[in-house]
Amino acid sequence: MGLEIYPQEVRASLESLNRSLESVTENVPLLKSSIEAFIGTKDLQSTAFGSRKDYMSRGHLPAVDGQLNAVNQFIEANRTHISYIDNYLGGEGYLSEDRISEYFARGT
């Protein structure tokens, strides 16, 4: 016996992962607003603070946006995978490599 898969367990794992990823995205607005508040503050005007603000503006904000984009892409890919499971394997409780090979050997 080769590969074995339990589609509903895979589906449950993907849903759980998406919940975790979505909780990450919930914190992004607060993080971005904190960075933007630091960058925009007029009270901190020294050369060192200016360099730090520039670094936060050019480094951290784009990195946060990139990470948010990556997380959203993972969420969407997981949703697509869940959709495939529902559409093609929704009624299957268990699949094995042998069972799949038999299916294709019959031509059905």
Q: What is the pLDDT of residues 64-89, one digit of tens each?
A: 999 999 999 999 999 999 999 898 88
Q: CA 103, CA 108: separation in Å to the nearest integer?
A: 6
Q: What is the pLDDT of residue 10?
A: 93
State yes or no: pLDDT of 63 exceeds 60.
Answer: yes
Q: Which residues contact 75 (CB under 8 A, 6 or more apart)?
A: 18, 21, 22, 25
In percent, the amount of the chain with pLDDT more than 70 equals 97
- Element at 59 (helix H, strand E): none
Give the chain's length.
Answer: 108
State yes or no: pLDDT of 42 exceeds 80.
Answer: yes
Q: Where are the alpha helices (DSSP H) in the chain?
A: 7-40, 47-55, 61-89, 97-106
In percent, the amount of the chain with pLDDT more than 90 equals 56
Number of domains in the chain: 1
Q: Which residues contact 18 (CB under 8 A, 6 or more apart)?
A: 75, 78, 79
Which domain range does residue 75 map to?
4-106
Q: What is the pLDDT of residue 78?
A: 98
> Is this prediction's pTM over 0.95?
no
Higher pLDDT, 59 or 99: 59
State yes or no: pLDDT of 1 exceeds 70.
Answer: no
Q: Which residues contact 81 (CB under 8 A, 6 or more apart)?
A: 10, 14
